[in-house]
Every structure is written in C-alpha cells, then in structure tokens.
Amino acid sequence: MEKRRYLFTSESVGEGHPDKVCDQISDGVLDCVLRQDPYGRVACETYVTMGLLIVGGEITTTGFVDVNNLTRNILKDIGYDHPKYGFDYHTCAVINTIHTQSPDIAQGVNKGGAGDQGFMVGYACRETPELMPLPIMLAHKLVKKTADVRRAKVLKYLGPDCKSQVSVEYSDGHPRRVDSVVLACQHTDEILDSSGMCITKKARQEMIDIIAKPMLKEYMDKDTKFYINETGKFVVGGPQSDTGMTGRKIVVDTYGGVAPPGGGAFSGKDPTKVDRSAAYMGRYIAKNIVAAGISDKCLIHIAYVIGRAEPLAVMVDTSGTAKISESAIGKLIRDNFDLTPQGMIQSLDLLRPIYRKTACYGHFGRTEPEFSWELTDKAQTLKKQAARF
C-alpha cells in the first residue's frame, strides 16, 4: 500500500509581535499581583496600537500594580526602545482601565469552583523529545532564534517584530522533512537595496544561514524552500503597523493546529480560571500518558461549569495508538489526577509569578523549571498501573 504523504503547517510569532506584546503585559500584571498576593484574582487584557497601549480587566488583590511603569519596562525589555522601530516605551501613551472582579463570579470561585465554563484541551505525541508536534516546535525555535540573534546584535538591523511558519512533510503519519520555511523579520532600512523596496540578497541569505538553517538542519534537504520577507521589506512593524490584543494567538500558544486549542486564551488569567489551569493539567496528563508508553498520541478534553469544582466531562482520544483501552486510560486519570481547580493549582504549583515566561514561544513543550506541567513524574506510576488492564 502506498504511504500517505501530506504537509502540515504551523506558525509562531516573536516577542515583538503586537499580540505577544499584549500577552506579555497581561501576564506581567498577573506576576506582579502573585508576588504580593498569591490569592489575588486577575483577568487582565491589553490592547496596543500606534503610540497607545490600554490595560484593562478585573483584578481583586491586596497588592498594588504600578501599571504604567510595569508596562514601559516590559516594552523596553522586548526591544521597543527607539523611534526607529515605530513604537517607543519612552513616549507611548499608557491608559489603565482596571477594575475589581464581579462579586457574582467571586462567590462561586471562593468556594473552590471553576472561574468560568468551558472546555480545555491537553495533547502530547512522540514527534519530538518534548512530546510535541514537530511543526509548532520548529516554528517557535525560529522566532526564538531571531530574538537571540537580535539581542546579541549578530544581525544589528533586526527589529523586535517577527513571524515564522514551517510546513513539514509527513509520510504515513511520521514527520520526514521540512518542505518550506516562512520568516518575516522586522528590520531597519539599512538593508534595503537601491530601489528601497526590497532587502538585499545578502541580508536575505544572512537570515537563512544564521537564523533558519541552525534550527532546521536535521530536517532540511536540497528541496527545502525559504520565503524571507516576501513582500520585499518589513521596516514598518510592531504596533505601528498592526493592532495587538491579549489572547489572539491561542493556536500559536498551544499545539499549532494539530490539536484543538480549547475554549479560551491563557494570558492575563490567574489559575482559578480553568481556561489556564485545566489546559496546563490536560497537557500534564497527556504528556505523562505518552511518556509512560501507554499511547503514542494522547488528546485530553475536559469541560467545566462556573462555580462547580469537578469537571462535567473528561474525554480521551489516542488516535488508535493506545496499548490499553481508552476507558482504562480514563480510569487511570481519575485515580491519579485531581481535576478540581484547587487540586490542579496545588498539583502544578500554579500560584507562582511564572507567567510572563509563558507568553512567548508557546505554553507547552518547554524545558524551563517554571513549567511544572511539562514534568513526567507520573509516568512510571501510570505505567505500572496500566499493566493491570
């Protein structure tokens, strides 16, 4: 039988992308609250456009957040520190419209219930050492490498905004090679050719050789195609060229389209919001099941209603790769994981100021110590228990 071949594509965006600017500020506000008040309630949204940034939402806390200074410091750290990038932390306007959380919501959350209704998704697979889909991992590595090269001034003309996209060729369900790479990097006008409409061939090749090839070499071949700043130039970027809002990159934040993203965004929400905590727990469960060798792929789907602690439904889908029945996997989940909001918060130690790090380069597939939901510390226990089925 002929092997099925197809291309799957995922994208990522860098720390200077307007939507990611907003995610980082919303999570920066959350971290500031948690440093002072671990039980503070935060639902923070940010909006950015040319010369203007608005921070709003609902916060209830015993602490204090200097939104103006916090916002400007994050913008400076991202790299919006000069007018040449079209947005400057020195001069942009910052408006604070934060108010307190609704008491109607609080009365349900205070007794340990979920902070909202919705469904959350966790996923893991064997395509990478991180047990993540390969296309999204490569897309994240490209924008992270772009930021590292910019910060190290290896390519001094790079600006903070960037995007990536990677198309991976699969054969019989397994990733084989990178078919194409898209990279859009904001830059200053010093690398424009004599027409002023395009970057030079030299600059284009530098981006391929210094950013793309080191990240992709294992999967590249002579037929891999590169599309670098395909409009010709990318001088006008960031909030000068595009508005940004918190929570608009939920596919980038999760599994790159391989698995459903779930019902809500993450950034700016404290962990009593199951949009965040249950998505992290879903990933933790799925990763431990795959790490235990129980299945090669695992999708976890969890549903909640506001004010109640226990989930309404838990679904497992292993795409036919499980070594035991999916109903048996469901029993393993119930026996080994507490899916109440308080149980998830305690299990994953989520009342820490760790969230700004999550706002760029994906919430999953990370190796930093803050990402407790990436641990596989339950894998051996699950493996032993699965042997009885």
| The token pair that represents 41 in the structure block | 């309630």
**What would the DSSP string read from start to end of 48-111?**
EETTEEEEEEEEE-SS---HHHHHHHHHHHHT-EEGGGTEETTT-EEEEEEEPPPHHHHHHHTT
| The token pair that represents 190 in the structure block | 């010093």
Separation of alpha carbons 169 and 8, rounded Å? 7
Secondary structure class of 215 (helix, strand, coil): helix
pLDDT tens for each residue of 264-321: 899 999 999 999 999 999 999 999 999 999 999 999 999 999 989 999 999 999 999 9
Separation of alpha carbons 114 and 278, rounded Å? 10
Whole-structure pTM value: 0.94
Q: What is the pLDDT of residue 2?
A: 54
In this prediction, residue 33 has a pLDDT band, given cuts at 50, 70 and 90, of very high
Q: Which candidate, 215, 162, 170, places its Cα nearest to that of 16? A: 162
Q: Count other Cβ atoms within 10 Å, centred on residue 384.
A: 10
* pLDDT of residue 22 exceeding 50: yes
Segment 49-76 shows an average pLDDT of 96
Separation of alpha carbons 97 and 130, rounded Å? 39
Q: What is the pLDDT of residue 1?
A: 47
* pLDDT of residue 21 exceeding 80: yes
Residues 6 or more apart whose CB falls under 8 angstroms from that of 252 comprise 11, 12, 13, 136, 139, 362
Tokens 């999550």 belong to residue: 358
Q: What is the pLDDT of residue 107?
A: 53
Share of the chain above pLDDT 70, in %: 96
